[in-house]
Every structure is written in structure tokens, then in C-alpha cells.
Amino acid sequence: MKVLVPIKRVIDYNVKVRVKPDNSDVDLANTKMAINPFCEIAVEEAVRLKEAGTATEVIAVSIGDKSCQEQLRTALALGADRAIQIETSEALDSLNIAKLLQKVVDEEQPQLVILGKQAIDSDNNQTGQMLGALTGMPQGTFASEVKIDGDKVNVTREIDGGLQTLALNMPAIVTTDLRLNEPRYASLPNIMKAKRKPLDVKSAADFGIDLTARTKLLKVTPPATRQAGIVVETIDELVEKLKNEAKVIS
């Protein structure tokens, strides 16, 4: 069973985001970049399936300029077998990303595609579901547990009121939530080994898809800041303020 893991290069989650002074976008110049944390969980899950003997091959794919090869090498160091970079310098909308991934699915015929539920930059939470619709595959989004059962996969999902388990016919899409697993650290020997694993580069333009932008980013601003309030000394004072000043309790 082949597992395809699409991953995204994003700002490192520890880095504080700055908005450009001209409000055109966030400023990513000279910031530390990393594999999107949810994508890292997706790679880990795929590698565990391989270690358990369920998956035979794990393929990582990323769409972007040459710099995303760094994150593909990270995926290879974590245990993916080979990688594909789809080269483009454009920041593509989720739908266009999903269309490119659909072509990769057509070619590779994976039984399972595992993606992060969302990227921590655009926070869209769309690509996995869109790929599901385009390929006709069922989906188990926001997964906290994935169990292969013959030609089906059982996915436990984190939903608003608790957990829900679905049975999906494979091939299927899974998107990861935080509690699915805890990704390993790549060991130095594996980082060295990853450098020799195959990484194919394909041009997005060669896929014959209309990649025209579907959205236009008009402006990016910093969020409204909240003013710090006052420190009260006693619970009595707190209750009094909430009743009479803020009027939020009676």
C-alpha cells in the first residue's frame, strides 16, 4: 500500500509574525521556516504505517519554489522513501494545490493520502477535503486515530462535542489533528541518509492545469491589540468590578 503525504513549508511556529509596513502581506524575509506541524504529524503517521508493515512506500510531495526541498528532505529524514517537488514560484490557492495533487494521485495511485488538517500560515483547512472531492475519495478529517482494516480505514475524528469514528473505503483521504501522534526527531544518520533518497522535481506548468489565482489579497493588518486592564487586590473587589463596572454578572 502506497501512502502519499503532501507537505507545506511555512513559518516556524515559534516565530512571531510581523506584518509589512505597507500592509501588503506578512514579512517572511529572513524568518525561520519549517515543515507545517500538522504535515509533520502526517509524515509520522505514514512512516508508522510503514513500520507496522501496512504501508509499503511513503511518498512526500510539496508544491513551491526550490526552498521547499528543505522540508521534503526533512520528511525523507523522518522516514519517507522518496519525494516530489512541484516547482512554482506562485503562492497558489488551495483549489489549485488540490488540482496539482490530484494529478500526483492519478500517477502514483496511493491507497491513502495523509495531509495536515491546515497550514499554520493561511489557516485555510481546505486542501485535503478539496482533494477528496476532486478524486472522489472519502475523507476522515481532523483524525486522532487511524486504523487500517482490510480495504477500509477507520478514522477517529475530533469533532466539536467529542470524538466520531468513520469507516472509509480506500483509497481515502486522512487529515491530521494534533493528537494523532507525536512526531519523532530525525536522527543524524537518517538526515545524512535522506540526502541520498530520490527527490524528483516537476514543473507546475507541465501539469496542464489552469492555475489562475482565485483570490486576491487586498491587505494584511496586525490584529487589534487589547489594552491591559487593572490588577485587583481581593476577590471582593473583583466581584464588585464585574457587577458594577463591567456589568457582566448580576
Partner 1 sequence: MSILVFAEHDNSTLKAETLKTVAAAQAIGGDITLLVAGFNCQSVVDDAAKVNGVTKVLVADNAAYEHQLAENVSLLVTELAADFEHIVATALTTGKNFMPRVAALLDVTQISDIIAVESSDTFVRPIYAGNAIATVQSLDSKKVITVRSTGFDAVATDGNAEVVVLDQATDAGNSSHVSDELTVSERPDLGAAGVVISGGRGMQNGDNFKLLEGIADKLGAAIGASRAAVDAGFVPNDMQVGQTGKIVAPDLYIAVGISGAIQHLAGMKDSKVIVAINKDPEAPIFQVADYGIVADLFDALPELESKL
Q: DSSP letters of 140-187? A: EEEEEEEEEETTEEEEEEEETTEEEEEEEESSEEEEE-GGG--PPPPP
| Shortest Å, Cβ 179 to partner 1 | 6
Interstrand relation of 82-87 and 112-116 (parallel, antiparallel or unpaired): unpaired
For the window 96-115, what string marks contact with partner 1 as x by the rule CB under 8 A? x-x-----------------
| Shortest Å, Cβ 162 to partner 1 | 4
The whole-angstrom separation of Cα 157 and Cα 191 is 32
The interface region with partner 1, picked from 47-55, 74-82, 156-164, 194-202 by CB under 8 A, is: 156-164
Q: DSSP letters of 24-83? A: SSB--TT--EEE-HHHHHHHHHHHHHHHTTS-SEEEEEEEESGGGHHHHHHHHHHT-SEE
82 part of the interface to partner 1, by CB under 8 A: no
CB-nearer residue toward partner 1: 22 or 236: 236
C-beta atoms surrounding 64 within 10 Å: 22
Helix (H) or strand (E) holding 124: none
29 part of the interface to partner 1, by CB under 8 A: no
| Shortest Å, Cβ 157 to partner 1 | 8
Identify the residue among 163, 192, 201, 205 touching partner 1 (CB under 8 A): 163
Q: Would you state the cell numbers that stand for residue 90, as one nine-digit string? A: 506562485
**Residues 225 to 244 in contact with partner 1, rule: CB under 8 A:** 226, 228-236, 238-239, 241-242
Identify the residue among 185, 196, 216, 244 touching partner 1 (CB under 8 A): 216
| Shortest Å, Cβ 83 to partner 1 | 25
Task: Count the residues of the shown chain that bind partner 1, applying the rule CB under 8 A.
Answer: 78
